[in-house]
Structure 1
Amino acid sequence: MTYVVGIDGGGTKTAVDVANEQGELLKQFHVGAINYNGGDEETIAASFAQMFESIKESCGSLDQVSQIVIGAAGISNPQVSIKLEQNVRAQGYEGPVYITGDQEIALYGAQNAMEGIILIAGTGSICFGVNGYGEKHRTGGFGHLIDDEGSGYSIGRQLLSLLVQAEDGRLKDSIIPAMVYEQLGLRTVQDIIGFVYGKHTTKKDIAALAPIMTKACELGDAQALKLAKSTAESLYELIVPVIERLKLQRSPIAISGSVLQKSPFVHSALERKLASTYPQVKLIMPIKDAAYGAVLMACSLNHRSHV
């Protein structure tokens, strides 16, 4: 028997699914992040070593693996694909490996087909769609320095911005600063500046503050409610070009990522915005996750190679 491997290289961890060529799952596990936009070479290499040790245990030998599909963030940078394949080859795998954006495997898993729309808002944000003619369009996903509006990172950054505005008197009557201080275990704005600009602080650390927005919304904080609404508007702006360019005005949108799945305030605000312009478009939960989407893609590639 031969096997396929689907790998979802997310922003904070990597999900791996091992399945037979019919897509029946054999094993699911997680290792550390393999994201070159937020991690170092040594850590990523260690994640690959751990990953392939588990794959070998599951399949008996890497020779039994007929296809690997990796969906990863940062593929817009052409060097990322090269480095990811080098890591795979360094583990002794000589078979076919297909590397694509994580939005593609997420769509495949979420809609159980390479068709429709997925909106991802986790550490980063991106919207991706494919219509019945195979035409594709993507919005967002260009990284936290120039993009990622509506993401966990964007929310975390805004919360920190609200804190410093409260400290210098530009903002009044918000519980957000106290909640940020508490979560970070810090006491002064100088401590906050040290955290934000510290060389060991990553975008994941900033994004980890995002749940504070939802907690503050539940307590009726006006600034938090305003932030949830603006987050939904940013995500709506990602959706519109995908719908319009691909003519998917009736397609359900699968939602992925903690911002949409764990913040009812953002979710409901986005639903209201969509209802006013695209009443036939509904937000749905994914059928399967992105790692299994990579498995489906691997099975499809195998099938095509045998035809």
Structure 2
Amino acid sequence: MALGLGIDAGGTATRWRLVDDEGRCVARGNAEPLTGHLFSAAAEERARQIILDMAQAVLREGKPLGIVAGITGLTRDTPSEAKMRALFAEIFELAPDKVFVAEDMWIAYLSYFALGEGILVYSGTGSIGYYLSDAKEVIRVGGRGNLIDDGGSGFWIAREALKTILRKEEESPGEGWATTLGRHLEKALGGTDWNVVRSFVYGGDRGKIGSLARAVSEAARADDQTALRILQEAGEELARLANSLTKRIGPRPVALAGGSSRLHPIVAEAFRRDLVAPVEFITTDLDAGLTAARLAATLNRA
């Protein structure tokens, strides 16, 4: 049986799917977050180890004859792309032409639209607006990372929540952490002492910080008004990405995807309300890893 391996690598986790030549999923699993930021020997070594660990799990289910991987932070036609493709080919013992790697949004877009058909706004650990033309030209807005923007993302939501609680603590000690949002953040952080908070924030990566967005979601579902406000503003930030693309390429159907956009209904409600054009709005969750695997299965026949 010819198998195709699809990989959807984001800032929080790497999801893999193995399909047969009829596109049926025969195995699936998760691995550590994998990034295309291969800008140092240490980053390359970490990527190698993650792929090795993933390969051990995949090969227990069967050997893929083709791989398609969508990887966060990867840019096509760069040295990082060539290195990543070479790593997959080496570790899975495949010819390089049986491995296709691209930025994760390339695969995500094709999960929702045909080339040139729509606009995808994705909110996970980071956020981005994405359009892939029928000539395979990419137009991106946002997606510049948490140090510059990533408005509406899980990282952004977590940062806004922490900032709000800590500022309240500075004004009125004890009142910030006593709120519903504060209590949910305290549970996620493991305490409220600044040394605990600082260690969590500066001792982890952006995915770990972004995971605090779940605490904001829980507080919002308990009707915490600050949490609800932050999530509403997240939806507005994400709508800005869609509106920027609409201004550049004209009205298209818009899909809102990613785990952070699902934290609370208020995110999608604010997003939809702020769209400048009356277009079809898609919120269905689709599996980018499965899309990648089905594309990989076609490499078997190439």
Distance in 1 between residues matched to 2:215 and 2:273, nearest whole Å: 23
Distance in 1 between residues matched to 2:60 and 2:32, nearest whole Å: 18
Q: 1:296 to 1:242 in 2, by over 3 A?
A: farther
Paired AA for residue 28 in structure 1: R
C-alpha contact 1:75 1:101 (8 A) present in aligned 2:
yes
Paired AA for residue 267 in structure 1: A
The alignment of Structure 1 onto Structure 2 pairs a total of residues equal to: 292
Distance in 1 between residues matched to 2:245 and 2:297, nearest whole Å: 27
C-alpha contact 1:162 1:177 (8 A) present in aligned 2:
no
Distance in 2 between residues matched to 1:179 and 1:2, nearest whole Å: 47
- 1:26 alignment partner, SS class: strand
Instruction: Describe the superposition over 1:250-277 as per-residue Cα deviations: whole angstroms up to 9, x where unpaired.
Output: 41x2222222123212111112222xx2
1:265 pairs with 2:266: yes
Distance in 1 between residues matched to 2:198 and 2:52, nearest whole Å: 36
Q: 1:194 to 1:7 in 2, by over 3 A?
A: closer
TM-score with structure 2 setting the length: 0.84
Which is worse superposed, 13-22 or 293-302?
293-302
- 2:34 alignment partner, SS class: coil
Paired AA for residue 106 in structure 1: A
Matches within 5 A, 1:81-96: 81-91=81-91, 92-96=93-97
C-alpha contact 2:234 2:267 (8 A) present in aligned 1:
yes
Matches within 5 A, 1:47-62: 47-59=50-62, 61=63
Paired AA for residue 34 in structure 2: I
Distance in 2 between residues matched to 1:263 and 1:194, nearest whole Å: 28
Partner residue, 1:282 = 281
Instruction: Describe the superposition over 1:82-136 as per-residue Cα deviations: whole angstroms up to 9, x where unpaired.
Output: 332232133132242111110111111234x344222211111112123556553
Paired AA for residue 196 in structure 1: V
Partner residue, 1:154 = 156
For structure 2, the residue ranges without an aligned partner over 5 or more in a row are none
Distance in 1 between residues matched to 2:129 and 2:233, nearest whole Å: 17
Distance in 2 between residues matched to 1:191 and 1:168, nearest whole Å: 17
Q: 1:219 to 1:284 in 2, by over 3 A?
A: closer
Q: 1:254 to 1:142 in 2, by over 3 A?
A: same
Q: 1:192 to 1:58 in 2, by over 3 A?
A: closer
C-alpha contact 1:176 1:212 (8 A) present in aligned 2:
yes
Which is worse superposed, 94-103 or 133-142?
133-142
TM-score with structure 1 setting the length: 0.83
Partner residue, 2:292 = 294
- 2:261 alignment partner, SS class: helix
Structure 1 residue 8: deviation in Å? 1.0
Distance in 2 between residues matched to 1:184 and 1:230, nearest whole Å: 23
Distance in 2 between residues matched to 1:25 and 1:190, nearest whole Å: 45
Structure 1 residue 234: deviation in Å? 0.9
Q: 1:235 to 1:94 in 2, by over 3 A?
A: same
Instruction: Describe the superposition over 1:151-207 as per-residue Cα deviations: whole angstroms up to 9, x where unpaired.
Output: 00111111111122011118977543333223212132343234323xx32112211
Matches within 5 A, 1:122-271: 122-131=124-133, 134-169=136-171, 174-197=179-202, 200-247=203-250, 249-251=251-253, 253-271=254-272
Matches within 5 A, 1:102-117: 102-111=104-113, 113-114=114-115, 115-117=117-119
Distance in 2 between residues matched to 1:3 and 1:194, nearest whole Å: 43
Structure 1 residue 45: deviation in Å? 2.2
Structure 1 residue 11: deviation in Å? 1.4
C-alpha contact 1:125 1:150 (8 A) present in aligned 2:
yes
C-alpha contact 1:271 1:283 (8 A) present in aligned 2:
no
Q: 1:196 to 1:250 in 2, by over 3 A?
A: closer
- 1:231 alignment partner, SS class: helix
C-alpha contact 1:71 1:99 (8 A) present in aligned 2:
yes
- 1:269 alignment partner, SS class: helix
C-alpha contact 1:11 1:35 (8 A) present in aligned 2:
yes
For structure 1, the residue ranges without an aligned partner over 5 or more in a row are none
**Identical aligned pairs, as a percentage?**
26
Divergent runs of 4+, >6 A: 170-173
Instruction: Describe the superposition over 1:200-227 as per-residue Cα deviations: whole angstroms up to 9, x where unpaired.
Output: 3211221111122223333433322321
Paired AA for residue 205 in structure 1: K
